[in-house]
Amino acid sequence: MSSEQFKFRIGDPVWAKMKGFSPWPGVVVMPHRTNSRVADDDAEFDALISGKQSVKKSAKKEAGGRKRNISEDSGSTASGPSSSTNKKPRGRPPLKQKVDDSSERDASPVPYSSSKKAAVSGLLDRPSVLRPASPALGIDLVTSSQTLREKDIQPSKLNFGFLGLGIMGSGMVKNLLNSGHQVTVWNRTTDKVKDFVEAGAKEALTPSDVIAECDITFSCVSDPQAAKDLVFGNCGVLQEINTTKGYVEMTSVDSDTSQDIAEAISLKGGRYLEAQIQGSKCQAQDGTLVVLVAGDRSLFDDCQSCFQAIGKNSFYLGEVGNASKMNLVLQTMIGVTLAGLAEGMALADRAGLQQKDVMEVLELTGLNCPAILQKGKAIIDGGFPTHQPLQHMQKDLKLSLNMGDQLEQPLPLTASANEVFKHAKRLGYGEHDVSAVYIRARF
């Protein structure tokens, strides 16, 4: 029987049939939503990817006193994609509606062929979300952390350089300066340099100028491509490398990238170390990072007072590549854990449990650890101020998957976590904290 033969109208009596049940009489009705929560979520999600306004789910109380958690203009970096008063019909609209202009879409139905086109372009196009503003650093460069004061560091008399004043670089340079090291800095966006110069750093105009000026230069930029650009690019590091120079890669990179850089530096007679860092903004500012180091042993020794200033521990792991591999192994564990935390918190919320109760219970179990508790709190607060950019975690998971490919090591959970982070990034949360992965889990 083709569907053409039977055209049902609202109110028609019908026999209903489900496998395993006897037929029963029924009437055709308009589908209706019994779960207003689902409808709200759909509208919120649509608003989110339309990127027109900010998501303002003002923690309104639901039945049972439960609060909604995604928010909100809680004053933090919630500059992300968002929206509030979207007066569309309840429920998730078909895909074609998402890519059309909203004023038109509510007025008239889209013809089949154009809706198909719109659906295809909707699949191919990235959702038009606003790029969240880069979060302000808000770093006090002058006041030494208690931890740093207790370390009693004897600073090396060598000249040190630092390339990259992002979240991690800023914290590390602060501690290098406050422990008495001579530091020359460079950053792609020059505005960020000013505060460091006021705090006692010297400024250089290009990465090669930093190398020329310094005995040992650290680099900490966003990803392997940026790390290579700094070394091999115009006015780059290689230009000034010679037998008196040391170069330390702190960007979280894969071992191939690290080995490429190591080879280029040593071909010009320089010494090379990879020093990968575990920790995020707070640990960088407090000087409590864990530093994983591999490469030239004498350079490791020359960097001792610097590693003391920026970290609570430094581990020497032998030949180049070992530190980046170790770092990716740890990042894999953290990324999968965070994706699991976000999913659990979303499930709790959907099930009508208070997320703060979940965290209180969790605190009494073996899962009680600072990382989980802090990220759980960030999820509850909902602003996702950046301690570790989500896009860097996704980059690390991608690098881990590549490593797994090369070694033929299956990483199914990492692959899923990577997709979840990738989706959160696509929704516009790449520059927010890694805990914003909850946004993806929630919808």
Residues forming contacts to ligand NA7 in the complex (CB under 6 A) are: 164-169, 187-189, 192, 220-223, 226, 229-230, 251-252, 389, 392, 396
Specify the residue, 110 or 231, whose C-beta has the smaller distance to ligand NA7.
231
Q: Report the distance separating Cα 325 and Cα 101, nearest Å.
A: 47
* Cβ atoms 143, 171 nearer than 8 A: no
Distance of closest approach, residue 395 Cβ to ligand NA7, in angstroms: 6
How near is the Cβ of 79 to ligand NA7 at its closest, in Å? Answer: 15
Residue 97 or 386 with smaller CB distance to ligand NA7 = 386
**Least separation in angstroms between CB 221 and ligand NA7:** 3
Q: Please return the burial class of 398, using the count of CB atoms within 10 Å of its CB with bins 0-12, 13-18 and 19+.
A: middle
| Rounded Cα gap, residues 350 and 421, in angstroms | 20
Backbone φ, ψ for residue 247 (5° rounding): -130, 130
Residue linked to tokens 């890694």:
434
Nearer to ligand NA7, 51 or 169 (CB): 169
Which tokens go with 29? Answer: 């009705």
Q: Provide CB contacts within 8 A for 268, sequence distance 6+.
A: 238, 241, 242
Q: Which is nearer to ligand NA7, 305 or 391 (CB)?
A: 391
Position closest to ligand NA7 via CB? 166
In the complex, the smallest distance separating the C-beta of residue 396 from ligand NA7, rounded to whole angstroms, is 6
Closer of 382 and 430 to ligand NA7 (Cβ): 430
Judged by CB, which is closer to ligand NA7: 299, or 328? 328
Least distance (Å) from ligand NA7 to the CB of residue 29?
Answer: 53
Nearer to ligand NA7, 349 or 431 (CB): 431
Structure tokens given for 161? 């350089």
Q: How far is the CB of 277 from ligand NA7 (least distance, A)?
A: 6
- Minimum distance from CB of 258 to ligand NA7 (Å)? 12
Smallest separation (angstroms) from ligand NA7 to the CB of 293: 15
Closest CB to ligand NA7 among residues 130, 330? 330
| CA nearest to 291, candidates 327, 253, 336, 338 | 327
Which pairing describes strands 289-295 and 271-278: parallel, antiparallel, or unpaired? antiparallel
| Minimum gap (Å) between residue 129 Cβ and ligand NA7 | 18
Helix extents (H) in 246-369 = 255-267, 281-286, 297-302, 304-310, 322-350, 355-363
Question: 192 or 426: whose CB is closer to ligand NA7?
Answer: 192
Identify whether the C-beta of residue 380 lies closer than 8 Å to the C-beta of residue 369: no
- Residues 357, 344 contacting (CB under 8 angstroms): no
Question: Sign of torsion, CA 92 98 100 103?
Answer: positive
- In the structure encoding, which two tokens stand for residue 148, read together? 């740093």
Structure tokens at 171: 């914290």
The residue among 234 and 365 lying less far from ligand NA7, judged by its C-beta, is 234
Q: DSSP of 56-111, one letter per residue? A: -----B-GGGPBP-S----SSS--SSB-----PPSSPPPHHHHHS-HHHHHHSPPP
Shortest distance (Å) from residue 416 CB to ligand NA7? 20
